[in-house]
Structure 1
Amino acid sequence: MKIERPKVAIQGIRASFHEEAAIRYFGENIETIECNSFKQTFESLKKREADYVVMAIENSIAGSILPNYTLLLDYGFPVVGEIYLPIQLHLMALPGVKFEDVKYVTSHPIALRQCVDFFDEYPHLKIVESSDTAACAKRIRDEQLTDTVAVANALAAQLYGLDVLERRIESNKRNFTRFLIMTQHDNVEKKPANKASLCFQVSNKVGALAKVLNIFAEEGVNMSKIQSMPILGKRNEYNFYVDVEWEEQKQYDASIRQILKYTHNFNILGEYERHDDEPTTTPKPNRTERSTRKYINIRRNV
C-alpha cells in the first residue's frame, strides 16, 4: 500500500540524524512523529499514530545498539528496509557569535566523543552533555545562547537558523549509522528482497551454532551481521540476530528450510532490499581561520 505522505516515528526531534535518515529513505514529503524513546516509536506504530518507524541499530564506531534488538523481537513489526547514513558533525552557533567568545559546547555524549580530536585543541571549552544533537541546536535558538555552540548535523543548523562555525569536526570521516525501517504487517509492499534479518535460538551443545552458519555458507548466502543477546532469566541461552544477503532467492529459501531443523523460536524479522549505495565523504575543510582564534584558559569540565 503506497502512502503519499507517510507518518514516520523517530527517537528525538526534527533535524536529528533519525529524521535525516527518514528523509533519505522516504524523501522530504513525510510527517515526522517525534518520540522521547525508541520504545515510544514502536508504541506510536502500534497505535497507528505512525505508518513507519526509523530506528538506529548500529554505528560503525560505537557498535550495536543492543536494547533495540529486543524491541524488534518484542513488538514483531516487520523490517522493510534499511539506510546507511554518514555521520557528519558540525559546530554551530547563533548568527554573529564569534568562536573566541564561546564557553560551552553541548551535544549528545556519543557525538561529543566522536569529535574528541577537535576539542582537544580547545581545552577552554566546557563540555555539556545532552540527550539529543538536534535538541541542543534548538535550545541555542530558543534561549538565544551567545556563549554556547552545539554539535549537530547540517539539517539542524538549517532548521534552527544557526551558523556553522566549523564543518566536519568528527575525528573519523568514515563514520556511518545503519537505520532499520519498520511498519505494520498490513502495510508491507511486496518487493524483491536480497537481504533478511533473522532471530533464532540453538541448543546449548557443541557445534550447534556452527551447524546453522555452515548451512548459510554451503548455500552461498552471505552472513553480514551476527549479534547475540542473553535471554532474560535463562542461563546460557541466547537469541542470535543474524543478517543475511543473497544473489538468488533459491539460495535463501534453501538455507531457511534447512536451518529450521536445527533452531527453535525462529523468527524472520524482515525481508527487504539491502542498501547498496556506496557512502561518500567530503574532504575535510581548510581550517585557515582556526589559527587566528584566541585561546581562553578556562579548565574544561568533562
Structure 2
Amino acid sequence: MVVTGQTHSNQASQFDLKGYLAVRQQQVETALDRAFPVVYPDKIYEAMRYSLFAGGKRLRPVLCLATCDLLGGTTDMAMPTACALEMIHTMSLIHDDLPAMDNDDYRRGKLTNHKVFGEAVAILAGDGLLAYAFEHIVEETKNVPSDRLIKVVSRLGRAVGAAGLVGGQVVDLDCEGKKDVSLDTLNFIHTHKTAALLEASVVSGGILAGGSDSDIQRLSRYAQAIGLAFQIVDDLLDITSTQEELGKSIGKDMNVEKATYPRLLGMEESRRQAEQLVESAKAEVAGFGEVAFPLMAIAEYITARKN
C-alpha cells in the first residue's frame, strides 16, 4: 500500500498526544528537579525554581526529545539539552514580564517572578538560568560526540542572542504604539522572538542524534512554521481568551498598541495563516513516517490550544 502525506496526517491525528506529552513532561520535570537543588544563597535558587516549576507545557524540551527519537537517538542523549531549553525559555519569560519589558503581574496563573522576589532578584534569576543552561548541556550530556555538542551550544547561543530572541524583543519594543508596522517587520519579530528558540529545540534533538544536513533542514522548516503559528495563536488568544484560561493578563497587546497578527491581518485571516503554517509543518516531516507522528500531532495541537 502506498502511504501518502495525507494518510500520515490522518493517522497522526489519531496519535495519543495527551498520553505522549504526559510521559515526556514527567521525564522533564524529574530531570529539572534533579538539576536544581536549593543551596546557598537560597534566595536565588528559590527564585529560579519558582518560575521553572510554575507550570507550563514543556513544549520545547518535548520537541527536542521527539526529534532525537525521530532520528534514532535516545532520551538520555537529549535530556540535558531538553532541560537547558526549558531553563532558557523560563529566563525569557521572567525577563519578558519585567516592568521595563511587558510589565506583567501574572504568568501561568501565578504572580510573576519580580512580583514575588523583586526586580533585582528576578533579573538575576533569569541570568542564572541562562548561564546554567549551557553549563548543564556540557557537563551532563553523555555518549554524544563533541562536535555535535558544539553545534548544539552554538545553535542555542544564536537563538537566544541578538540574532534571535533578544533581537526580536528589541524590534517588538520599538514597534509598540506605531501604526505603520509592516507584515515583514512583524514576521521578523516573531521569527526571532518566538520561532528561533522553538527551531533550536527541534534542530538540537536532530543534531544530537546525528541527523544529516537534509534531515536538519526539514526539521528547521517544520520548526519555523510551527513557531510562527504558535505566535499567531498567542495573538488570537490575547483577544479571545480569559485570564483564567490563559494564566496571564489578557488584552495587554491591544492596550499598548503592540503589533500583532490580528491587528494587521484580522481575526479570520490570522486563523487561516496559522492553519496553513501547521499544514506546511506537517508536510515537512511526513516523509519520516510513523516516527514523525509526535511532531505532526504537536503541530496540530498548536492551533487547537486554549492557553
For the superposition of Structure 1 and Structure 2, which TM-score range results when normalised by the shorter chain? under 0.3
Bigger Rg, which one: 1
Higher strand share: 1
- The TM-score normalised by the length of structure 1 is 0.21
